[in-house]
Amino acid sequence: MANIKSQIKRNRQNLVSNARNKTVRSELKTRTKKLLAAVEAGEPTDELYVAAQKRIDMAVSKGMMHPRTAARRKSRLTRRLNSAD
| pTM (two decimals) | 0.80
Selection from 21, 23, 55, 69 nearest residue 47 by Cα? 55
Which residue ranges make up each domain of the chain? Answer: 5-84
Phi, psi of 21 (to 5 degrees): -65, -35
- % pLDDT > 70, the chain: 99
At 15-43, the pLDDT tens digits run 999 999 999 999 999 999 999 999 989 88
What is d(CA 57, CA 46) in angstroms, rounded to the nearest whole number?
Answer: 17
CATH number, domain 5-84, options 3.30.1280.10, 1.10.3720.10, 1.20.58.110, 3.30.70.3270 = 1.20.58.110
